[in-house]
Amino acid sequence: DHLNYRKKNELNHWVKRDPIKNFRNILINKKILNNNDIEKINKKIQKEIDLSFHHAIKSEFPKFSDLNKNIFSS
């Protein structure tokens, strides 16, 4: 929390309840995945994030006239 809008003990409480870390630990403890599997998954995710980020940076900024295109309501 680099903005310091949460108290340290509150932040620690939620860090301990991190569902991604907890699920990873369950998968490892049940021997469904191992640390190598987790590392491969993390690398694949990071690669996808990096590719998406670079695509966004290289893409032309949308035109203001496109602001309301492809908006649907039910």
* Model pLDDT for residues 34-45, shown as the tens digit of each residue: 999 999 999 999
2-20: pLDDT as tens digits? 677 888 899 889 889 999 9
Cα–Cα distance for residue pair 10/13, rounded to 1 Å:
5
Secondary structure in 3-state letters for 4-54 = CCCCHHHHHHHHHCCHHHHHHHHHHHCCCCCHHHHHHHHHHHHHHHHHHHH
For tokens 């670079």, name the residue: 54
Rounded distance, CA 63 to CA 74, Å? Answer: 26
> Is residue 1 predicted with pLDDT exceeding 80?
no
Q: What is the CA radius of gyration of the chain?
A: 20
Rounded to an integer, the average pLDDT of 42-68 is: 95
Q: pTM of the prediction?
A: 0.64
